[in-house]
Amino acid sequence: MIKILLVTALALSIVACGDRIKPDEPANASDEDTSGATAGGIDGADGNGGTALEGGKLVSYEEGAINDPDNVLSEKIVYFGFDSNAVGDDFVELVKHHGKYLSFNVNASVRLEGHADERGTREYNVALAESRAQAVKQLMLYEGASNEQISVISYGEEKPVAFGQDEESMSLNRRVEIVYQ
Amino acid sequence: MKTIILGLLCLSFASVAQAVLKIDITEGTEGALPIAVVPFKWHGSKMISDGDVSAIVASDLARSGKFSPVDEKDLIARPNKLADVHYKTWRIAGMDHIVIGNVTLQPNGTYQVEFRLIDILKGKQVLGYSFAATKDTIRTIAHQISDYVFTHITGMPGAFGTRIAYVTVQRSKKGISSRLQVSDTDGYNPQTLLTSNEPIMSPAWSPNGAELAYVSFENGQAEIFTHNIRTGKRKSRSKFKGLNGSPAWSPDGKKLAVTLSKDGNPDIYILNIKDNKAKRLTNHWAIDTEAVWLPDGKAIIYTSSRSGKPQLYRQSIWGNAKPERLTYEGRYNANASVSADGKHIAYVHGEGNVYRIALLELATKSSRILTDGPLDESPEYAPNNSMILFASQEKRKAILAAVSVDGRQKQRLVFTDGEVREPSWAAVRY
């Protein structure tokens, strides 16, 4: 579950975010904190490529932010429901962040790798997993990423990451991996 | 339960050189025809390894589900010459047919293999052939004998002498190793056509048994190849942006039905082998995939999610024909395999979390479930319509299994290591 925390406490966020902070940007308030790790941030999600704090993690669209384990963009897997290609509420924001990152970093590009669980037929699952990757791509395009920045490949059920037959393993395999090139 | 263990020699890869394919007939011999296959007598040589012709024939006939060969130890007599066959004794023992034969070492080092099929009720030989074999071809000859016997008694063409193809996967910490393998129909003599660290999918035999079409991800995307099994030469057929999947040869071998998503979402295209040009057949926002041809080459059956869930549809390949929905029972019906006479399809039927192989009679649209699941897939009709090969799981291990079309007889084909999946059965041995 990802919720954007937009807080005014500048002092804390300066400590947390260092030079990513742009203190002259507008800031909105929020009182929710799910992790307790970091308390504040600055709203950067207004199209300027700025910085925000999110749960225990921050959001930054600056180049390389995708490799920062403290950044939301370090999350690069989107999970799906059975036989569904709908990006769930839990992941829409994450996908949008990646779409924004691409729009701010025109030299960045991603490969979206679609996967399915083992239930159902193999070729149908390749098609299903592609439609998942396409759904992720579409959301990224809405956020300003360009077609040229996004390639799609579907592996269907051929590359599972979990091998159990329980629902948890299945759900881990129904995914789109966002792989920066 | 009958168990036949066949040691496999893998020609290409040491890591699977010791792989053993074990065939268990797990359920039912009820209704199968009694037959006695008497051990062939060897002349001028002891039986060579791989040369147990009668055991190979008995195993083939048993696997067909149509026959119930007598256990060798229960044979009441072991004649090798027609003159030594006592019809009355065999009749009392309840045998309708017996097979006898001899293998004779020739001065040039080859073997003469002869067999006779004897109809006990008619009291005479009804079939007799002699073949020249070497130690390398004697198993193939044995499968041919099975085909002769099977065809004579059932009236259906045999399918033991051809080949099967399948994909194996071994997983290690370094990743996956996929192999495209070709073997005799009993799993013997496996040979590796392709090894890759990326997935290999959907092997399909050309109608003349000379080539396989398949999907390989070796170049970083899904790509369809055709691969001549004898020369090893292969051609890239389709590497459009997006999906390139589900190749299916037309009955005349001149076209491939394929799934492409180059124009947006997965649709069926007909690819001309001669010039590699693909023409769109279906055009729908939903998923259309897994096309297979009807034997007349005029229509295909495919999986489509246009109703919301995957179901099977039939559509003419000419003009803007309307698809006809074939399946209505259950929320998941996919991946059809058409019988050689075009009257039935085998397909995957999903209900809840259980996926089983089912059979649909096209004329009446009546269906029945053949297997138990829970994750059965990739059904493949034997070219003689007698049985259906499919991929199954047993204790989390991917295996091949076979079921007779009446659902009565079931077998497992278990490899000792690695996963095995996506069987394809050649109609002809090239």
- C-beta atoms of B334 and A121 within 8 A: yes
Between A43-57, A139-153, B74-88, B308-322, the lowest mean confidence (pLDDT) is in A43-57
Q: Which residues of A touch B346 (CB under 8 A)?
A: none
Q: What proportion of chain A, given as a percentage, has pLDDT over 70? A: 69
Q: Which CATH architecture is the domain B31-154 placed in?
A: 3-Layer(aba) Sandwich (3.40)
Rounded to a whole number, what is the distance in Å from the CA of A57 to chain B's nearest CA?
A: 31
Give residue-wise pLDDT tens across range A168-181: 999 999 999 999 99
Q: Which residues of A touch B290 (CB under 8 A)?
A: 121, 123-124
Q: Which residues of B touch A138 (CB under 8 A)?
A: none
Higher-confidence residue: B350 or A21?
B350
User: CB contact, 8 Å: B201 with chain A?
Assistant: yes
- Whether residue A25 is predicted with pLDDT greater than 60 in this model: the reply is no
Question: Looking at residue B29, what is its pLDDT?
Answer: 59
Q: Which of B217, B287, B422 shows the shortest C-beta gap to A124?
A: B287
Can you say how many angstroms the Cα of residue B280 is from the centroid of all Cα atoms in its chain? Answer: 30
The answer to whether the beta carbons of residues B195 and B177 sit under 8 Å apart is yes
Q: Distance (Å, rounded) from C-alpha A157 to C-alpha B396? A: 15
DSSP state of A91: H
Higher-confidence residue: A8 or B20?
B20
SS3 call for B331: coil
Q: Distance (Å, rounded) from C-alpha A113 to C-alpha A99? A: 15
With residue B229 as reference, give the H or E element that holds it. none
pLDDT in tens, chain B (430 residues): 333 333 332 233 333 333 445 556 566 556 789 999 999 999 999 999 889 999 999 988 988 878 989 999 999 999 999 999 999 999 999 999 999 999 999 999 999 999 999 999 999 999 999 999 999 999 999 999 999 999 999 998 888 999 999 999 998 888 889 999 999 888 888 899 999 999 999 999 999 999 999 999 999 999 999 999 999 999 999 999 999 999 999 999 999 999 999 999 999 999 999 999 999 999 999 999 999 999 999 999 999 999 999 999 999 999 788 999 999 999 999 999 999 999 999 999 999 889 999 999 999 999 999 999 899 999 999 998 888 999 998 877 888 998 988 887 788 876 666 789 999 999 988 8
Give residue-wise pLDDT tens across range A79-104: 999 999 999 999 999 999 999 999 99
DSSP conformation letters of B108-155: TS-EEEEEEEEETTTTEEEEEEEEEE-TTTHHHHHHHHHHHHHHHHHS
- C-beta atoms of B199 and A158 within 8 A: yes
With residue B167 as reference, give the H or E element that holds it. strand B163-172
Q: Is ipTM > 0.85 here?
A: yes
- C-beta atoms of A131 and B422 within 8 A: no
Q: Which of B176, B221, B259 shows the shortest C-beta gap to A123?
A: B259
Question: Looking at residue B56, what is its pLDDT?
Answer: 94
- C-beta atoms of B335 and A130 within 8 A: no
- What does each C-alpha distance from B322 to B282, B313, B315 come to in angstroms? 9, 10, 6
Question: Looking at residue B153, what is its pLDDT?
Answer: 95
- Whether residue A16 is predicted with pLDDT greater than 80 in this model: the reply is no
Q: Which residues of B touch A120 (CB under 8 A)?
A: 310, 332, 334, 348, 350, 355, 377
Helices (H) and strands (E) in chain A, counts: 4, 7
Tokens at B100, concatenated: 């006898």
Q: Which residues of A touch B377 (CB under 8 A)?
A: 120-122
- C-beta atoms of A123 and B201 within 8 A: yes
CATH 2.120.10.30 is right for the domain spanning B163-425: yes
- What does each C-alpha distance from B313 to A69, A78, B290 come to in angstroms? 48, 32, 11
Rounded to a whole number, what is the distance in Å from the CA of B221 to chain A's nearest CA?
A: 6
- Whether residue A78 is predicted with pLDDT greater than 60 in this model: the reply is yes
A53: pLDDT confidence band, cut at 50, 70 and 90?
low
- H helix intervals, A72-144: 89-104, 122-142
The number of beta carbons lying within 10 Å of the beta carbon of residue B167 is: 27
B347 → chain A, closest CA residue: A121
Q: Which of B220, B242, B289 shows the shortest C-beta gap to A124?
A: B289
Tokens at B213, concatenated: 């079409």
Question: Looking at residue B16, what is its pLDDT?
Answer: 37
Tokens at B322, concatenated: 């309307």
Average pLDDT, chain A: 78
A164: pLDDT confidence band, cut at 50, 70 and 90?
confident
Q: Which residues of A touch B396 (CB under 8 A)?
A: 163, 165
How is chain B split into domains, by residue range?
A: 31-154, 163-425
Average of pLDDT values for A131-147? 97
Residue B343's Cβ-count burial label (10 Å; 0-12, 13-18, 19+) is middle
Query: What's the CA dihedral at B376, B382, B385, B389 to 10 degrees?
Result: -20
Question: Looking at residue B408, what is its pLDDT?
Answer: 79
Q: Which residues of B touch A128 (CB under 8 A)?
A: 287
- Whether residue A52 is predicted with pLDDT greater than 80 in this model: the reply is no
Rounded to a whole number, what is the distance in Å from the CA of B341 to chain A's nearest CA?
A: 24
Q: Which of B199, B310, B332 shows the shortest C-beta gap to A159?
A: B199
Question: Looking at residue B220, what is its pLDDT?
Answer: 93
- C-beta atoms of A122 and B422 within 8 A: yes
A47: pLDDT confidence band, cut at 50, 70 and 90?
very low
Give the contacts of B67 (CB within 8 A, at least 6 positions apart).
B32, B33, B34, B35, B61, B150, B153
Q: Distance (Å, rounded) from C-alpha B236 to C-alpha B249? A: 15
Q: Which structural domains are found in chain A, ordered by start?
A: 1-74 (no CATH), 75-181 (3.30.1330.60)
